[in-house]
Structures are given as structure tokens and as C-alpha cells.
Structure 1
Amino acid sequence: MMRCINIALLCVQENASDRPTMSDVVAMLSSEAKPLAEPEHPAYFQVRVTAEEASSMVAVPCSVNGVTVSALDGR
């Protein structure tokens, strides 16, 4: 299970060049003999939101027309 988690963490690295190719992933999953690289911190791992930033994010800009309502939201 830990091997699968390690492979998954390698696949979600922030920089695409740090992620393994699909053929590398298949090779890592099919062979336990192949050593795995240590993943770096995942994207947004060290991002901290201050109280000021959190309060400013509460007021979400949105647009309303006769057909749709659009609200901008981050992931």
C-alpha cells in the first residue's frame, strides 16, 4: 500500500517534469524491485492563508444575467 501511495505522490508533483511518465508508472506498479524516488512536497503544501486574506476571500465576485449566475471560485 505504501508503494502505491508513493507512486501516487510522484504523479501529482507540482512541476510536470518531476512527474513520471505513464510507462514509468506501469513499470513501478508491476515491479517491486525497482527503487522509487522520494516525492517532493505536493503542490500548495506550504501555502498559508492569513486572516486578512481569508476575510477578503469571503466576498466572491459574481455576475448575474437573465440566463445564468456565475461565481468565481478557486479549486
Structure 2
Amino acid sequence: MAEESKFAPGDIVRVKSGGPVMTVVNHVEDGRYYCTWWQPKRGELVFDFFYPVILEKATEPDHFPVVQ
């Protein structure tokens, strides 16, 4: 029986133990969430998979200044 999705694409989440806020991209068949976040030190967008047990909805998104 398939588990109901805890997060939806576009939700802002973070790992419960800390770290940057991430955007949920997709919920994959094995139950993990494909998330993306900005890595300022590397200057790139990063993607990875996370199990829902380690994620929580972010209460405050990180804010980076807009570079013009």
C-alpha cells in the first residue's frame, strides 16, 4: 500500500537536524523526496534525495540578498 505524500512539490523543507531550506521537486516511488537548494559557497543549485522521516516543513525560509 502506497504511503500518502507528506510534502508536495514546491513545499519548503529542511532536514530536522539543521541545514539550508530546500524546495521539494518531486516525490519518488520509493518514498523519498527529490529536493533542491542553493549552495552559496559553491555558487550552484544542488539536488538530492531525502527520506521523509528526516524532513520537516521549514517555518522560515533562508533569505539571500538579490544580486543585480
* Structure having the higher Rg: 1
TM bin, normalised by shorter chain, reads under 0.3
Instruction: Give the TM-score taking structure 1 as reference length.
Output: 0.25
Please state which structure has a larger fraction of its residues in helix: 1
Please state which structure has a larger fraction of its residues in strand: 2
